[in-house]
Amino acid sequence: MTKAMSESRRNFLRRSGCALMGAGALAAHVEQFGLIHAFARAQSLSDYKALVCIFLEGGNDGNNTVVPVDDYNAAGGYASVRGASNLSLPQSSLLPLSPPSQQGRKYGLHPNLVELQTLFNQNRLAVLCNTGTLVQPLTRQLYRSGVGHPYQLFSHSDQVEQQQTCISAQPGHTGWGGRISDVMSGANGAAPLPLAISTAGTSLLMSGDDTRQLVVNPEVRLNELFRVDLGNDFSLANTEVRRIAFNRIRADATAKLSRAAAETVEQAMQAGFALSLDPVLPPLQAGQTDFQTTPLGKQLKQVAKIISLRAQLGVRRQIFFCSLGGFDHHNNQRTAANSHDALLLQVSKALKAFHDATVNLGVAAEVTTFTLSDFGRTFEPSGTGAGVGTDHAWGNHQFIMGGAVRGGDFYGTFPTLALGGPDDADERGRWIPTTSTEQYAATLGLWFGLPHASLPAVFPLLGRFPASNLGFMS
Amino acid sequence: MPPSRPNAKRFIRSLSACLLLVLCAGTTAAQNADTSAPVLLTEADSIRAVALESVNFLRDPFTHNTHVAFNADRRTRVALFAMNIQLYAGEGANAFTAEAEDGARRVYPLEVEHVGPVPEFGGITQIVVRLHDQMADAGDVLVRVSLRGMSSNRVRLSVGHAGGGLPDDTGAVPTPAPPTSPAPRPQASPNSYTGPASAPDAVRFLEQATFGPTQAQVARVQSIGIRAYLEEQFNAPASGYPTLPLMPLDANLGCQGGDARVCYRDNYTMYPLQIRLFKNAFYKPDQLRQRVAFALHQIFVVSGRELNETSWMSPYLQTLDRHAFGNFRQLLYDITRNPAMGDFLSTAGNTKEKPNENFAREILQLFTVGPDLLHPDGTPKLDAGGNRIPVYNQATITNFARVFTGWGLAVPPPDTQGILNFADPMIAHERHHDTDAKTLLGGATLPPNQTTLQDLNAALDNIFNHPNVGPFIGKRLIRQLVTSNPSAAYVGRVASVFDNNCAGFYADAACPGERGDLRAVVRAILLDPEARGDIKTDPNYGRLREPVQFIAAMCRAFDARGIGAGGVIVESDGHLEPYATEMGQDVLRPPTVFGYFPAEHIVPGTTLKGPEFGILSSSTALRRIGFTAMMVYGNGIFRGKTIDTPEGTFIWFSSFMPLASDPARVVSALDTLLLHGSMSPNMRDAVTSAVAVIPPTEPNYLLRRTQMAVYLILTSPQYQVQR
């Protein structure tokens, strides 16, 4: 990297800070490899921090996750829109929350989120209200005048991508976790594992320009995860010959897609050398919850095990990506095998077990867990009867959990639940977000140690919003 | 094709005088006249490019921007000069790709903006590229251009300042212009592929058109030629999927008595269809239909994980088989009324009271037009601000959601209680259909008071006739069959055949000028000059074999078998799904409507699309190796390993073992079948010397040697990519 080049890139960033470019062009520049390298990589750090993303795939119905209690029966509110449908959660079933920021207004969690209610009351869990993909702050009037629409709003693939890229003006190919990793991977020195680790396959969130995430199968013991099977013909000598040729051939792969496949194997082999044992998590204490063998439970247990090896591996910063599918409840939202209720139950129990594991590992304040989802869902039901569901919408509520979270409160602005109301993008209850995913992610990134100077490169449109730190992290 | 830019025209007018000096300075002729790879011209004594800033004709180092705004963006354009380029009708800048690599091994794609002959130097082609936004002061870079999968030599030029670049490529030599200008090359005429095929191209063709080359099929393609083989494949009857009995919704009712576990497996899971898919792929002759139908499954996705019963999935798979070489409009119609699709994307039971947007959105976004307006060659149209232009908005989706109201499952068979009819197409219930007017793509309107079916057909016509469909679907199919990063010109050629089956190089004599003829589209994809050829040298060419293809190709190459009653050798039972799932592809059960992997996935560390890399990770990559070890060294999946593997699956090497007395010979034969002879000298040496280590004195040495070679090739990153 020449000095001149990094100078020119700094200049570019200074210009982009002044928002001289259109959203598309600006994001395109950030997308181009190279830009992020202008910043000094973070120096090796002495403390440990981890971010754990739980992506609720398909679009979690936030309207049935956090429900207003005081305004339950307000004209045009929850009871009037959902009360007659099978979606309706009875007011008495809601688990009450009293967030100090809401001027005495009470809210309730879905009845299956018992553990999350407890964590909220212990100030270990916060709720961020009505956050979503935005390219600029919006009002209903602005939105309906055709201004500031994220690319392909309401489409799964694009909204999943934008939650993960934080580039809402156009398709992107790097995720914000990957870009944080591009900037901060130096913090881990020569550790054998990359900063970005996914238990849910290759995710866009964790893809950077340089960052190639490690994908960990949650079903396999750590010490068996990355074993290269060389085959066995009952001759150790032949196996050794094979091993040497196997490595030599891989090094000879030059065509770009072959090279990429080769590097994937190389990363796995390096991790395999490092993960030589399957750790046992510390025993549970009274009142704690163990991991269940649910899809999310297994992923978070694997994450806890990897965190337990942080000292041996010499890692200072880690970002984990977990996901849980099935939230696209166009129909049968309450009755499908993977009903919304069943999935929330799984989320609540898995989060509690993970929180307890971080307590036992002594890193409760060093690990912050947060949810993301494609989008929220229409407040107005879709279909009728037992098969009722909801359609794709926009703004949504998210949870942030951990000892460093200023928990027990709501952040952002709770939307006015009214069809065609001030927060509705149309007439079906698609909330226009009042907090952008970028602000949400930047708040997490700043806690994680991302230098302020790197914010524009990692979050190109952040400067358009009033706050880059939402204050939910201490 | 975009019109050539004013500066490029000016360039042509005034180039001659300038160029004369440069071009005539050379003394040796450029080589490679007998291949189709472009040759970029260099100075006489180095690989420094003959390259000129395209307005003022200045040599490098090039400034990143021009001081005068010849273009709106002021970015410098550079003209490169090449020989040995012969273009097909319609080929221009969009047939080329170009890229530069700097000293830090950073690769910058360069947009090719103009390609044309140099006046008075007919055999020389100028290629004008736009410098990349991020290469302001890159120093020395090595630049290549590629045409139809063939890469030029890499030449050196400087941006910002001279120096600091990579060393010359190994074996790179100066390629100066000849002392006299070569003769202009006539327009290329497409190969008819009616004659015998070469072995490498036959193998490459079979990688694209089947679930994997076998020695027998390679011989067949070589002898009758690719064109005749294609027609044979078009006419082969579908091996297909069985029609299965509709069962009660409740498996406890459906599986009473007998072995409930087997009953459940055979009626309430995808098992019977998954094993059929693999057995068809291993043994049945209609390979091209299977491959295209599997590609269509990944476009018109229905996931078995959302379906209650096996029998619900069969009609969907049969529909894809039936229309693989049929008309796209008919496919669209049958898929829309298919009950599995109706269930998966919520059209079944969609009513005017609460129109569901699920199918409306996906039919537009995924099945037909895609989100952005496209040029005929598949590149996105941009507005004045450089942004993509959406094809539709939320209002369009809402309108289409209303179109697709009124559909429900057909009436169940008589005397059946608790059984849903997923065998017959969905039927219309007029009382649930929204009969108001609707606005469709391009502002077309449906009048009020049409029937459910009238609205459906009119809406499907509206979608089908949108100009995006050809390039959108054409590109998806090219990526499934041939290469992940096709040139825009290739997409354009295929799209033109989608638009009109009389277009293109390979129209039938009696073509009716039909739109959406998938047979013509598949033919155009597979015979295209970008698909064909003995070898492709463009490093960006190819596609990662998806797990199903990886497994099937191995089993086909080495004649997979199982063991039946009494130890008789029979067909494999086809139960390979668990292994594909471990590799990230849960066969017939993709996780979402987006399929097994994201269609636009970017390979990390590159700027290349690689959809299949979406499921190649540090975990799944090792599963490919583990599966290979099991099949090559571990005797495969043994008979009776589980109740689901009654015959098991093993591969054998009987046709290769006799060659293994000579290590070079067995490696060469495997190179031909598995890598169409593309093995690099270094890889060949690595494999051959590993094979040769096993002495003839070792027991079973012919087998051991063959296993060694097969394992090393199948686990190699080179083999993972079909190119």
The answer to whether the CB of A405 falls within 8 A of the CB of A472 is: yes
What pLDDT does A351 receive?
A: 98
**How many Cβ atoms from other residues are within 10 Å of residue B167's Cβ?**
10
- Tell which residue, B432, B290, B236, has the closest CA to residue B351: B432
d(CA B73, CA B70): 8
pLDDT band at A7 (very low <50, low <70, confident <90, very high): very low
- Tell which residue, A310, A214, A313, has the closest CA to residue A263: A214
DSSP string computed for B643-672: TT-SS-BB---TTTGGGGGSHHHHHHHHHH
The Cα of B615 is separated from the nearest Cα of chain A by a number of Å equal to: 6
What pLDDT does A170 receive?
A: 65
d(CA A109, CA A97): 7
In chain B, residues with a C-beta closer than 8 Å to the C-beta of A389 are 346, 356
Kindly determine whether residue B707 and residue A226, on different chains, have CB atoms separated by under 8 Å: no
Q: Find tokens 């071009």 and name the residue.
A: B23
Is it the case that residue A14 has pLDDT exceeding 80? no
pLDDT band at A157 (very low <50, low <70, confident <90, very high): low
The answer to whether the CB of A222 falls within 8 A of the CB of A199 is: no
Backbone Cα Rg of chain A: 23
| Mean per-residue pLDDT, B420-439 | 97
Is it the case that residue B10 has pLDDT exceeding 60? no
By CA distance, what is B542's nearest residue in A? Answer: A257
Q: What are phi and psi of A248, to 5 degrees?
A: -70, -40
For residue B151, the SS3 value is strand
- H/E stretch holding A436 reads strand A435-436
Question: How far, rounded to the nearest angstrom, does the alpha carbon of residue A29 sit from its chain's CA centroid?
Answer: 24
d(CA B398, CA B333): 20
The answer to whether the CB of A433 falls within 8 A of the CB of A166 is: no
Find the DSSP H helices in B172-324: 199-209, 215-224, 226-235, 251-254, 260-268, 271-283, 287-297, 310-323
Average confidence score pLDDT of chain B: 92
Kindly determine whether residue A325 and residue B614, on different chains, have CB atoms separated by under 8 Å: no
pLDDT band at A174 (very low <50, low <70, confident <90, very high): confident
Predicted TM-score (pTM) of the model is 0.86
In chain B, residues with a C-beta closer than 8 Å to the C-beta of A248 are 682, 686
Kindly determine whether residue B164 and residue A210, on different chains, have CB atoms separated by under 8 Å: no
Kindly determine whether residue A229 and residue B632, on different chains, have CB atoms separated by under 8 Å: no
The answer to whether the CB of B612 falls within 8 A of the CB of B542 is: no
Average confidence score pLDDT of chain A: 88
The Cα of B692 is separated from the nearest Cα of chain A by a number of Å equal to: 10
Helices (H) and strands (E) in chain A, counts: 14, 12
Kindly determine whether residue A238 and residue B693, on different chains, have CB atoms separated by under 8 Å: yes
d(CA A268, CA A277): 15
In chain A, residues with a C-beta closer than 8 Å to the C-beta of B630 are 229
Tokens of B458: 């009119």
What pLDDT does A43 receive?
A: 52
β-pair partners for B100: B108, B143
Q: Provide the phi-psi class of A274: left if phi over 0, else alpha when psi is between -120 and 50, else beta.
A: alpha
What pLDDT does A104 receive?
A: 92
Question: Which carries the bigger pLDDT value, residue A77 or residue B32?
Answer: A77
Digit-coded pLDDT (tens) for B219-238: 999 999 999 999 999 999 99
Q: For chains A and B, what is the number of CB pairs under 8 angstroms?
A: 253
| Mean per-residue pLDDT, B146-153 | 97
Digit-coded pLDDT (tens) for B278-332: 999 999 999 999 999 999 999 999 999 889 999 999 999 999 999 999 999 999 9
What pLDDT does A158 receive?
A: 67
d(CA A61, CA A58): 9
**3-state secondary structure labels for all residues of chain A:** CCHHHHHHHHHHHHHHHCCCCCHHHHHHHHHCCCHHHHCCCCCCCCCCEEEEEEEECCCCCHHHCEEECCCCCCCCCHHHHHCCCCCCCCHHHCEEECCHHHCCCCEEECCCCHHHHHHHHCCCEEEEEEEECCCCCCCHHHHHCCCCCCCCCCCHHHHHHHHHHCCCCCCCCCCHHHHHHHHHHHHHCCCCCCCEEECCCCCCCCCCCCCCCEECCCCCCHHHCCCCCCCCCCCHHHHHHHHHHHHHHHHCCCCHHHHHHHHHHHHHHHHHHHCCCCCCCCCCCCCCCCCCCCHHHHHHHHHHHHHHCHHHHCCCEEEEEEEECCCCCCCCCCCCCCCHHHHHHHHHHHHHHHHHHHHHCCCCCCEEEEEEECCCECCCCECCHHHCECCECCCEEEEEECCCECCCCEEECCCCCCCCCCCECCCCCCECCCEEHHHHHHHHHHHHCCCHHHHHHHCCCHHHCCCCCCCCEC
Is it the case that residue B243 has pLDDT exceeding 90? yes
Question: Which carries the bigger pLDDT value, residue A283 or residue A14?
Answer: A283
d(CA A370, CA A29): 28
**How many Cβ atoms from other residues are within 10 Å of residue B636's Cβ?**
24
Digit-coded pLDDT (tens) for A256-278: 999 999 999 999 999 999 998 89
Q: What are phi and psi of B107, to 5 degrees?
A: -105, 130
Kindly determine whether residue A22 and residue B603, on different chains, have CB atoms separated by under 8 Å: no
Kindly determine whether residue A268 and residue B618, on different chains, have CB atoms separated by under 8 Å: yes
What pLDDT does A171 receive?
A: 63
What pLDDT does A259 receive?
A: 96
For residue B712, the SS3 value is helix
Digit-coded pLDDT (tens) for B93-130: 999 999 999 999 999 999 999 999 998 888 999 999 99
Digit-coded pLDDT (tens) for A354-405: 999 999 999 999 999 999 999 999 999 988 888 899 988 999 999 999 999 9
Q: Across the interface, which of B358, B539, B618 has its CB nearest the CB of A254?
A: B539
d(CA B620, CA B583): 5
The Cα of A205 is separated from the nearest Cα of chain B by a number of Å equal to: 12
Task: Tell me the CB-side half-sphere exposure of residue B597, using CA atoms within 13 A.
Answer: 29
What pLDDT does B9 receive?
A: 40
Tokens of A195: 């900063």
Kindly determine whether residue B602 and residue A158, on different chains, have CB atoms separated by under 8 Å: no
DSSP string computed for B377-409: TSPBPB-TTS-B-BS--HHHHHHHHHHT-SEEP
d(CA B244, CA B236): 23
Q: What is the dihedral of CA A400, A406, A407, A409, to 10 degrees?
A: -100
DSSP string computed for B426-465: PEE-GGGS--S-EE-GGG-EEPTT--HHHHHHHHHHHHHT
- Tell which residue, B368, B325, B327, has the closest CA to residue B466: B368
Is it the case that residue B146 has pLDDT exceeding 90? yes
b/e map of A393-403 (b: 16 or more CB within 10 Å)?
Answer: bbbbbbbbbbb
List all residues 6 or more positions away from B507 whose beta carbon is below 8 Å from its beta carbon.
Answer: B497, B501, B520
Kindly determine whether residue A229 and residue B539, on different chains, have CB atoms separated by under 8 Å: no
Tokens of B460: 């499907």
d(CA B503, CA B481): 21
d(CA B545, CA B555): 14
The answer to whether the CB of A157 falls within 8 A of the CB of A283 is: no
By CA distance, what is A224's nearest residue in B? Answer: B619
d(CA A206, CA A321): 7
In chain B, residues with a C-beta closer than 8 Å to the C-beta of A152 are 365, 371, 390
Kindly determine whether residue A212 and residue B604, on different chains, have CB atoms separated by under 8 Å: yes
Quick one: CA dihedral A339, A341, A344, A350, positive or negative? negative
In chain B, residues with a C-beta closer than 8 Å to the C-beta of A216 are 618-619
By CA distance, what is A248's nearest residue in B? Answer: B686
The Cα of A320 is separated from the nearest Cα of chain B by a number of Å equal to: 15
pLDDT band at B16 (very low <50, low <70, confident <90, very high): very low
In chain B, residues with a C-beta closer than 8 Å to the C-beta of A215 are 617-620
Kindly determine whether residue B361 and residue A1, on different chains, have CB atoms separated by under 8 Å: no
Kindly determine whether residue B386 and residue A58, on different chains, have CB atoms separated by under 8 Å: no
- Tell which residue, B485, B487, B525, has the closest CA to residue B505: B525
